[in-house]
A = this chain, B = another copy of it.
Amino acid sequence: MTSQHREPVTRDRIIDAALHIVDGQGLGRLTMRRLGDALEVEAMAIYHHLPRGKEELLDGLVAHVAVDPLSATAGGEWQDRLRGWAAGYRERLLEHSGVLPLLVTRRNPAALDGTTASVQEVLGRAGLREETAATGAHTLMGYLIGHAALEARGRALSEAGGPGGAIDWDLRFTGGLDVVLAGLAQS
């Protein structure tokens, strides 16, 4: 805290600063040079903490938005547990909607596949047979990511003065989620 020394540059501070840039200015404006500026350091210093460079930086952003359903608040029916997890995940994705395109890329497989496996385990514990649980996990993850993408686009467009300002996205999301859960309970 002595004012003559700046905060040490750490992996966590780098990811945080990068997320801040993406949230405020968009993914396209996240450059190593700008990130260095935000950390009050030359861009080249970042490579000392992230040897794989920008690739590793983007992997870190993806990992940061992931939410695991097993660690989400437990209790209640499996439908309600998944509803709680989905609500949290959706919130996170919209808060950092700039990273959404990164989820769609091959990037950081562990983050997405780990979450999918956890969803499958929740469904398995609920009594669904393995193949149904696997399909259900993919369906839920697909819906979650896809709907978040549509919602992020829709919200940004209506903010920019486009049509569709009348859409109640909360209702749309929970409504669609209920459709998927109803279909799942029945299979």
What is the interface of chain A, defined by CB distance below 8 A to chain B? 100-106, 109, 112-113, 116, 134-136, 138-139, 141-150, 152-153, 156-157, 162, 164, 171-172, 175-176, 178-184, 186-187
Q: Are B147 and A139 in contact (CB under 8 A)?
A: yes
Q: What is the chain B residue whose CB lies nearest that of A147?
A: B142
- Assuming A112-B153, A146-B145, A146-B147, is B175 touching A182 (CB within 8 A)? no
CA distance A148 to B103 in the complex (A): 12
Nearest CB of B to A109, in Å: 5
Question: Which residues in B have their C-beta under 8 angstroms from that of A152?
Answer: 104
At the interface, is chain A mostly helix, strand, loop or mixed?
helix
Q: In the complex this chain forms, how many copies of it are found?
A: 2
What are 21 A-B contacts with C-beta separation under 8 Å?
A: A101-B101, A101-B104, A105-B153, A106-B153, A106-B157, A109-B157, A113-B164, A135-B171, A135-B175, A138-B172, A142-B143, A142-B145, A142-B149, A179-B180, A179-B184, A180-B180, A180-B183, A181-B183, A182-B183, A182-B187, A183-B183
CA distance A134 to B164 in the complex (A): 12
CA distance A116 to B147 in the complex (A): 12
Q: What is the chain B residue whose CB lies nearest that of A97?
A: B104
